[in-house]
Amino acid sequence: MKIHKALWFGLSCIGLVILMIAFLTPWDNLTTGHIGLLMLALIVVAIMLGFPTAFTLMGMGVLFTFLAYYMQSSDPGRSIGQTLDLMVQRTYATMTNDSLISIPLFVFMGYLVERANLIEKLFRSMHLALARVPGALAVATLATCAIFATATGIVGAVVTLMGLLAMPAMLKAGYSVRLTAGAITAGGCLGILLPPSVMLIVYGATTGVSVVQLYAGALFPGIMLAVLYMAYVIIVAKLRPDMAPPLPMAERGVPLSPESAALASGGHVRALSGMVAAMFKGRRNREVPFGVLLRYMAMALAPLAVTVLLVAVVYQATTRPEVVYEIPAELQLGSGDFDSGLSEPPSDGLAEPPSGELAEPPSAEPDR
């Protein structure tokens, strides 16, 4: 039976790891560091053998926890009890962690986005918008991955979905296999940087760091990395057109609806000016209802309206003067003019001794 080269490579790696474990591990003097390295090596071997990752991590954790406790006490019963107690404690700590609640919700949000077929429409829109850019399909793939990463927060979903959507289109357009695979995998890796990143949530919950601060620190590097990926693809497409050929003119346009075709036949090159002319200058085609014109106008001006609203909100939030509450001088702490109406109780006619002098007690004469 002939074995594939990839299988030989995997078996060789497993054998190498096992040999390193057997010969490099100081079995007579094991420490906690050696136990950790041994567990990591066995996890790699188990995953390469095909065991599910979740059960591998759980099983190795329980096994080596028992081993660590057994090395301390040499009592199997006590070690099993300590291991089970630790499992219960860690499970309860995970269940009571508020930060981890967002993980299934983010995954569910990505599932809804995928099932609603929004990513395919987004990829098509980005593809048409960037049709004149060199390497348009690869750039559109990276942009779609960056946007989709903000809805899932994981890598696997982005890579899988974009592999099904973008890879056939890129290969059909004559793109290089290396550039195609690199664009999809690089764009999918943005899911661990751009919020809401599941990895950052788990890291923050494990280390006690604020997840909001992690998001703030990872947002700009994620955007910068996406821009650098796009710039690299554009440069490669410019220098090597055979790796990313330009799109033909037939794939740069979309079929127009009858109303849009009627507006385009009016002689206007720009869509917005054509709609304005049709509404206010008497050039409106009879086949285009006025309500359709209003709807098209609203769709064309919606991005501008959202941008203006966002800028206005940010400007108001950043330039709003601070509210300063002025407290009258007589009500401020430490003011001598403030009279609270409280005074010391009367001394009942007893004069206090002057300061610095101690009053002598009256001399008591002995009884005779």
Task: Identify the residue with better confidence: 151 or 143.
Answer: 143
Mean pLDDT of 266-286: 64
Q: Which of 157-161, 228-232, 324-328 has the lowest mean pLDDT?
A: 324-328
User: What pLDDT, on the 0 to 100 scale, is given for residue 364?
Assistant: 53
Is the confidence at residue 342, as pLDDT, over 60? Answer: no
Q: pLDDT confidence of 354, banded at 50, 70, 90?
A: low
Q: pLDDT confidence of 228, banded at 50, 70, 90?
A: very high
Mean pLDDT of 100-119: 80
Task: Identify the residue with better confidence: 14 or 284.
Answer: 14
SS3 at position 133? coil
d(CA 82, CA 86): 6
Q: pLDDT confidence of 66, banded at 50, 70, 90?
A: confident
Q: pLDDT confidence of 264, banded at 50, 70, 90?
A: low
SS3 at position 211? helix
Nearest to 148 by CA among 137, 139, 159: 159
User: What pLDDT, on the 0 to 100 scale, is given for residue 291?
Assistant: 75
Q: Which of 42-51, 171-180, 185-194, 255-264 has the lowest mean pLDDT?
A: 255-264
- CA–CA distance from 120 to each of 156, 168, 176, 300 (Å)? 17, 13, 22, 21
Is the confidence at residue 302, as pLDDT, over 90? Answer: no
CA dihedral 146, 148, 152, 155 (to 10 degrees): -50
CB burial of 345-360 (b: ≥16 within 10 Å; e: otherwise) equals eeeeeeeeeeeeeeee
User: What pLDDT, on the 0 to 100 scale, is given for residue 362?
Assistant: 55
Cβ-contact 136, 93 below 8 angstroms: no
User: What pLDDT, on the 0 to 100 scale, is given for residue 163?
Assistant: 84
- CA–CA distance from 300 to each of 43, 275, 288 (Å)? 55, 10, 17
d(CA 324, CA 329): 15
Mean pLDDT of 260-270: 65
Highest mean pLDDT among 27-31, 48-52, 54-58, 99-103: 54-58
Which residue's structure tokens are 């949530």? 201
How much is the CA Rg of the chain, to the nearest whole Å? 36
Is the confidence at residue 365, as pLDDT, over 70? Answer: no
Mean pLDDT of 151-178: 83
d(CA 149, CA 126): 15
Task: Identify the residue with better confidence: 107 or 141.
Answer: 141
Q: Which residues contact 94 (CB under 8 A, 6 or more apart)?
A: 100
Is the confidence at residue 154, as pLDDT, over 80? Answer: no
pTM of the model: 0.62
d(CA 118, CA 109): 12
Is the confidence at residue 255, as pLDDT, over 80? Answer: no
Is the confidence at residue 64, as pLDDT, over 60? Answer: yes
Q: Which of 45-54, 176-185, 280-289 has the lowest mean pLDDT?
A: 280-289
Is the confidence at residue 193, as pLDDT, over 90? Answer: no
Tell me what the pLDDT averaged over the chain comes to: 78
Is the confidence at residue 263, as pLDDT, over 70? Answer: no
Mean pLDDT of 209-214: 85
Task: Identify the residue with better confidence: 22 or 356.
Answer: 22
Is the confidence at residue 322, as pLDDT, over 60? Answer: yes
Is the confidence at residue 308, as pLDDT, over 90? Answer: yes
User: What pLDDT, on the 0 to 100 scale, is given for residue 235?
Assistant: 92
Percentage of the chain beyond pLDDT 70 is 77
Q: Which of 36-50, 75-89, 200-214, 274-288 has the lowest mean pLDDT?
A: 274-288
User: What pLDDT, on the 0 to 100 scale, is given for residue 352?
Assistant: 55
Nearest to 87 by CA among 55, 58, 53: 58
Nearest to 45 by CA among 9, 4, 3, 13: 13
